[in-house]
Chains A and B, each alone.
Chain A
Amino acid sequence: MLKSRASEAVIAVVDDDLSAREGLSSLIRSAGLQVEVFASAQEFLARPGAEAPSCLVLDLQLPGLSGLDLQKQMAGVGLEIPIVFLTGHGNIPASVQAMKAGAVEFLTKPFDEQELLRAIQEAIARDQRTRQQHAEIRELRDRYESLTAREQEVMQQVISGLLNKQIAAELNITEFTVKIHRGHVMRKMRADSVADLVRMAENLGIRSLKRSDQI
């Protein structure tokens, strides 16, 4: 399953050295993956195409913008591409910095082919997870936005753990109306239970009413 998804994955290689670039390209393609190569960070950033690559194989020492700079910049704009770092001569501070900033792997040239491919697979898996999470959140947000303002209000109360009676009092409506709104909320949000709804709310970043508000 991973394999089939992986084969659709696009791997971006950024390395200023032609030999390295070609070698990496061939190696990655031989593993049945699609690859795009770039000679510098700027070239990569100017890359056309909407879909971001699933993995970035990045040389540490690049002319102009260095690998670590690129990583920092991407993090700055919220671009979550898993990065596999390569370097001619690794130094510990750089590797620590890279790994701290979320790199998948830090390999020293010449690297072991298996190690690189394994790191790439891991990166792809990580990317898949990220994408899936994003998709889920998006779906949830759509559902949430389909709620009316009143329903959103009721939902807020429900996830705060208030009883129907309390909600009714709070919103100054009858308990029966609350029940109807509540039914709508559950249906529209496709929540099986209140616990489910609370989890969704958490994912959406909706905070339950502060305890201090209740008191």
Chain B
Amino acid sequence: MRSLPGGPEMKAPALNAIKSAAHPSVRPLRFAHLQRYGLAALSVGSALAAGLLLEHFHFRVPSALLLLFAVALSSWYGGRGPAVLAAVLSIITFYWYFVQPVRTIYIDPSEIPYFITFVSFVALLSWFGTVRRRAEKALREQANLLNLTHDTVFVMDMEGAIQYWNRGAEGRYGWTAEEAVGKAVHDLLKTAYPVPQEQIKAELIRTGRWEGELVHARRDGTPVIVASRWALQRDPRGTPVAILETNNDITERKRGEEALRRLNRELRAISNCNQVLLRANDEQSLLERICRIVCEEAGYSLAWVGYAVDDEAKSVRPVAWTGAEEGYLASARITWADTDRGRGHTGTAIRCGESCCIQDFAADPRVAPWREDLLQRSFRSGIALPLRDEHNDAFGSLTIHSAQPNAFTPEEIRLLEELAADLAFGILTLRSRTARKHAEQEVALLSFALDNVREAALLIDDAARFHYVNNEGCRVLGYTRAELLGMSVPDIDPEFPAGRWSDHWRDLKAQRSLNFESRHRTGDGRIFPVEISANYFEYGGRAYNLALVRDVTQRKRAEEALRLSNAYNRSLIEASLDPLVTIGPDGRITDINAATETATGGSRRELIGTDFCDYFTEPAKARTGYEQVFREGTVRDYPLELRHLDGHVMSVLYNASVYRDESGQVIGVFAAARDITERKRAEQALRQREAYLAESQRLSHTGTWVLNAATGNYVYASEEALRVFGFDPQKGPPTRDQLYERIHPEDRAGAKQASERMYREKVEADYGYRLALPDGTIKHIHAIGHPVLDENGQVTEYLGTIADITDRKRAEEALRLSNAYNRSLIETSLDPLVTIGPDGKVTDVNAATEAATGRSRSELIGTDFCDYFTEPAQARTGYEQAFREGLVRDYPLELRHRDGRVMSVLYNASVYRDESDQVSGVFAAARDITERKRIEEALRRTAAYLADAQRLTHTGAWAGDRTTAPLYWSEEVFRIFGFDPQQGLPTRDQPLERIHPKDLDKFLQGFHRTINEKVDSEDEYRVVLPDGTLKHIHAVAHPVVDPDGELVEVVGTVVDITERKRAEEALRESEMRFRTFVDHAVEAFFMLDFEEGTIIDVNRCACESLGYTREELIGMNPMSFDVDLDRATVESMAERAAAGETVLFDRHWHRRKDGTLFPVEVQTSVFWHGGRRFLLKIARDTSDRLRAEQQRDRLRQLEADLAHTNRVSMMGELAASVAHEVNQPLSGVVSNASAGLRWLAGDVPNLEEAREGLRRIVRDGKRAGEVIARIRALTRKAATPKEKVDLNETIREVLALVGDEAKRKSVIIRTQFADDLSPVAGDRVQLQQVVLNLVMNAIEAMSVVDERARALAITTRNIDPDQVQVTAQDSGPGIDPQTIDRIFDSFYTTKPGGMGMGLSISRSILQAHGGRIWATANHGPGTIFHFTLPKYHLEEINAEVASV
């Protein structure tokens, strides 16, 4: 037992509070007996002592009062026992006190009232004590109960200080009673009130009670939700003194409720999400809507989806979010790498692929990098859910944050994971849908692109097989695509025998791409050269080669043409008027042209093989020149004299260059001579005249001197000459040495050399030097010396002039400097520039000109510029034009290089003028257009070849606009339409007028089709030329469209096929005449070879009736169209016919080519002709006769048909009726349920209406059930009676039923029955229905087949000891393997009007019989149906019957 804590002064109010508590359960109090009784004795003793003490100090207090006090005290604290003890002791003391010194019990009568009063007081006190003890005991028991309860009970005073604290409170809040008492409740529990505290107090004081829910904090801070009841304690005066608070912990309940609410919310969210997923068609909006639902419906504060990015940082890219994001995602920099920023929940979820939940952001170390951000946005917990792809790898995460810590219970996590899985599935579905769409588009685009390229594209695998061929490929190779796909490279490329492919593949794989030339063979065996670009790539784990093939026939042809053009050059050489010769390395002539023959007088035959030097006047010089050519590669203008056989000499300038073989080896010299005999003669005359002229000029202007050739002394010097040299004219001419002294020391040696050369070689000297006169002046001198010859050619004296040119030199120097700048500009030009003087001589050139002509500047200057062109005359004309007009632009010329190379140039030339504005020359700049020329030439040649090709094939090419007006016609088109190419293109209507009027519409239709539908059109039509010539034209038109699909123009070809037409026409006519005769018979004639049995000839009627052409029929055996003929019949017929009988079959069936049958009467007889036996068959169509017969049969058959139709249509009616019957109540159910929902959804739910609706739903539901039950009952009624059934017989019965139908549909039914077929157990009628169903299906399926026989084969056999199998094999179109498993499902049908019940019912029947049915694809066309049935066993049936 424990006492109440705290001192006795606190007990009273506490106990009082307990007493008024609703659940008083305060623990009882305890007092040791010894202590209690001791207290009684002590208090009495103390009272006595006190009395004596007071008396001793003369302070007399009635002792009885003190004793009474002692008794009261004992009674109060000790209880009844101590009270009695105290009373007895008091009485004894009293006695002693009052009765002293009397020793006996005697009471003075005067004392009696006093005594009585005392005793009654004592008794009263004792009674009080007893009552109180009893109350205390009750209280103790109650206090015990209070401590036993788990409820929290505590008492506080009006100021909130705790006064009592039970054990429940200790346990709940973690504070012991000792710690709690005396403290303020508010400090201790941090109570959160739902309403203001004042309001609670007010209510408490008004009513004395208050109840409500509070949130308290435990000692460790965790919150506790309690249902709190307060009771007010008043003291007897009614003043409130204390509050008793009793609390029940409802935290768990609250939490449970909260969790439930949240779960509900989440379930709702998931359901909404799933609806979003179903409808989503765009990933971003899906993610955003899911996030929004998670936030808004499930009540989370943030939901976001991040995708794992496969970059270096492994970052997580937020793609969608909703909620209090506030820039958190942008700054979070979350990754899924195993780093600090990757160990958060999102990172972990993506990395591990498991959901990761963090229950408290404030405490969890994993969110350290973001803690501040998270808490700032009131996120307290979060979960990341991985979004996993089909390989179960996480590609992103759905992260959800909650404002509550510990917000995610396992149940919620499970739901959220489900949501995330659904979301991931949704995303992947969307992506795969998008990807598939993309892929489809790409494939379509690719194959479209490949099909439209003008190169053949072949996709080849490593085994050289073709996997894809584009349209161009098919066209070029002349195969259909299907054919090519079954072929491999060796089939089309003779260069690639099977063995070479693997080497080629290895090379290709190593180099990835190869370009090479090869040859391809087309379907019709033509081989053409191709250029192939093979490209290796791998796709889907397999290697492929995409080969682009270009037909290079045209290029090859061009190369061929080039070769031809060499021959052309040869003829040019021959035509040259200059003697041309080729010389071998040994110096012997290898070839010459006609001009050489003329020049030498020898024939070609004579000249070839001889030494070329023999034909020159100076053989040695000729040889030197020849050797120079060999050494330097070329020689230009080498002067030689050619001697003619008749002795006359021709001066020539030889240009020679070596020519080389392909390997660059010199194999000879090509030399061209130019006859310069005349030129030489003219030059000679000119030189003489010039000499005289120059001489007199010089003599008249400058100082003159004469030197005696014999003495070497000056015999004469003019005054002017002496004056120039600074000599005194009076002293006469100086000596040569004196003269030399006056020459500038630097120039002295040069001057001496020049003059000595003049003396020695007797040539004119022209030189300049400077004079350094004694007075220091420097003079520039121009000196000319000239030997004077006598009649014998001997030099007698030298005559010369000197001119002082100092002033001129100075001016020249200045000019030279100013020119240097222009010069450098000109030099840097890449175009050949040249200046030409008025006399046509080159005055200057730049470096580019040197390069173009192969001559140095010094060589060029002063020569006639015309010489450097292939056509000097034209050059001169141009030059003159420039002179005349001042300017020439783009003047075409050909510049000849020293080595013979010709450069086509365009010249721009303009005159330049001197100061006096006199034209002083022409400045010409050339532009190299060799390349351009070459291209133009090539173009021209190509056009020429095309024209040739067209002319040869009678093919013309044309282009026209959309009005048919011609834009371009090749020459051949002109020819075909009879127009003159010189007149230019005809107008739109001119060619149309030449089209045969009857064909004009056809032509225009085709053309308009090409324009409007943008497709190729191909037509044949006739053209009538003005002279009446009729031509047959085959025309092809092809639309040219721009990338926007707009028609640009129409191009096409026309081919003159008149010859071909004419040949065909002739053939047809003869054929017609030949056949007219026989073909007028109305019966079909067949002439057969007796031995072979094959057809030799037929007439028109035979062809028409059977639908075959004559060609097809010849060689046929009648058995192939006469369905009733078999070998045995044919043999017996032949036998009878051979015996002279005319065999008649009055009811045979012939099958037309289209598969339809018709009845015929056939007469067969033998006749002899030319020693051979023939069979003549005459067949007469008896369809009409038969039709009448059939009409009668039809009536008979009608009954059977009706039964059949009934059976077929019954099912349809049944199904429709079932649908209707069930649909009505179903519709009622839906209406009522919808209405019910609406009644309940109103502001005031209308329960009565809703209830009524539910009742009706129940009724309608039952009604629907009854309908179904009725149907079931209907089918159950037909429980299968088992009897012994012979399947062969059953099938025969069915075939008898459908025989006519089969014949009508031209279906041949063959049966192959096992003779020993075991009987089966079952219902004959039902099994008949199964067979009927299969047969009818087959007949119907084959009704679309025209190109082959319609055959149905039914086979029966025993397959194992217990099973019998029936197969029905048709030749119909077959069943798609994709759906072959579904055909037995109810309501599955491929027939337009079918119910889809036949096979389903068949299967039910067979299953009821213990058998099964299935279908397989036929090896050829068609389908095979199989069904099995167990064999008939008497015992089993009996057993079954017995068990039933």
Contact = CB atoms under 8 A, between A and B. Distances in A.
18 contacts: A18-B1228, A19-B1225, A19-B1228, A19-B1229, A19-B1260, A19-B1263, A20-B1224, A23-B1253, A26-B1231, A26-B1253, A27-B1234, A27-B1238, A30-B1235, A30-B1238, A30-B1246, A88-B1220, A109-B1230, A110-B1231
A110 B1264 CA distance: 13
B638 interface: no
Given A109-B1227, A111-B1230, A23 B1235 contact: yes
Interface in A90-118: 109-111, 113
A3 B629 CA distance: 115
Contacts of A20: 1224, 1227-1228, 1231
Interface in B1214-1272: 1216, 1219-1220, 1223-1232, 1234-1236, 1238-1239, 1242, 1246, 1249, 1252-1253, 1256, 1259-1260, 1263
A9 B719 CA distance: 148
Contacts of A28: 1235
Given A26-B1231, A109-B1230, A113-B1231, 7 more contacts: A20-B1224, A27-B1234, A30-B1236, A30-B1239, A30-B1242, A109-B1224, A111-B1230
Given A30-B1249, A88-B1220, A23 B1228 contact: yes
Contact of A22 (B1219, B1220, B1226, B1256): B1256
Contacts of B1216: 89
Pick the most buried of A23, A28, A88: most chain B CB atoms within 10 A of its CB.
Answer: A23
Interface string B1190-1229: 0000000000000000000000000010011001111111
Contact of A89 (B1220, B1234, B1235, B1249): B1220
Contacts of B1252: 26
B1239 to A, nearest CB: 5
A24 interface: yes
A1 interface: no
B1259 A26 contact: no
A17 interface: yes
A21 to B, nearest CB: 8
Interface in A48-105: 86, 88-89
A138 interface: no
A109 B1223 contact: yes
Contact of B1226 (A26, A27, A109): A109
B1228 A22 contact: yes
Pick the most buried of B1231, B1238, B1249: most chain A CB atoms within 10 A of its CB.
Answer: B1231
A29 interface: yes
Contact of A23 (B1219, B1231, B1242, B1263): B1231
A28 B1234 CA distance: 10
Contacts of B1224: 17, 19-20, 88, 109
Contacts of A19: 1224-1225, 1227-1229, 1232, 1256, 1259-1260, 1263
Contacts of B1229: 19, 23, 110
A29 B7 CA distance: 77
B315 to A, nearest CB: 46
A2 interface: no
Interface residues of B, number: 27
A31 interface: yes
Given A19-B1259, A19-B1263, A30-B1238, A24 B1231 contact: yes
B1212 to A, nearest CB: 13
Interface in A113-150: 113
B1237 to A, nearest CB: 8
Contacts of A27: 1231-1232, 1234-1235, 1238
B1238 A110 contact: no
A18 B1239 CA distance: 20
Contacts of B1230: 23, 109-111, 113
Contacts of B1242: 30
B1371 to A, nearest CB: 36
Nearest to B1246: A30
Interface of B: 1216, 1219-1220, 1223-1232, 1234-1236, 1238-1239, 1242, 1246, 1249, 1252-1253, 1256, 1259-1260, 1263
Nearest to B1249: A26
Nearest to B1234: A113
A126 B214 CA distance: 60
A30 B1259 CA distance: 20
Contacts of A26: 1231-1232, 1235-1236, 1239, 1249, 1252-1253, 1256
A30 B1229 CA distance: 15
A110 B1235 contact: no
Pick the most buried of A89, A109, A110, A111: most chain B CB atoms within 10 A of its CB.
Answer: A110
B1227 A23 contact: yes
B1232 A89 contact: no
A18 B1226 CA distance: 12
B1256 A89 contact: no
B1256 A23 contact: yes
Given A19-B1260, A22-B1232, A26-B1235, A110 B1226 contact: yes
A88 B1256 contact: no
A23 B1236 CA distance: 9
A86 B1232 CA distance: 16
A110 B1235 CA distance: 13
A27 B1224 CA distance: 16
What are the 5 closest A-B residue pairs judged by CB atoms, nearest first? Answer: A23-B1231, A19-B1228, A113-B1234, A109-B1227, A30-B1238
A86 to B, nearest CB: 8
Contacts of B1256: 19, 22-23, 26
Contact of B1228 (A17, A30, A89, A113): A17
Nearest to B1219: A89
B738 to A, nearest CB: 134
Contact of A29 (B1219, B1220, B1234, B1235): B1235
Contact of B1223 (A18, A29, A89): A89
A113 B1230 CA distance: 8
Pick the most buried of A28, A30, A31, A89: most chain B CB atoms within 10 A of its CB.
Answer: A30
A88 B1231 CA distance: 13
A89 B1215 CA distance: 12
A22 B1256 CA distance: 8
Contacts of B1223: 88-89, 109-110
Pick the most buried of A20, A24, A26, A27: most chain B CB atoms within 10 A of its CB.
Answer: A26
Nearest to B1241: A30
A88 B1224 CA distance: 7
Interface in A1-51: 17-20, 22-24, 26-31
Nearest to B1256: A22
Contacts of A113: 1230-1231, 1234-1235, 1238
Contacts of B1227: 17, 19-20, 23, 86, 88, 109-111
A27 B1234 CA distance: 7
A86 B1223 CA distance: 12
B1249 to A, nearest CB: 6
Contacts of A18: 1228
Contacts of B1263: 19
B794 to A, nearest CB: 133
A68 to B, nearest CB: 18
A31 B1239 CA distance: 8
B928 to A, nearest CB: 80
Contacts of A22: 1228, 1232, 1256
A32 to B, nearest CB: 9
A65 to B, nearest CB: 19
Nearest to A114: B1234
Contacts of A30: 1235-1236, 1238-1239, 1242, 1246, 1249
A110 B1228 CA distance: 8
B1396 to A, nearest CB: 16
Contact of B1238 (A17, A31, A109): A31
Contacts of A89: 1216, 1219-1220, 1223
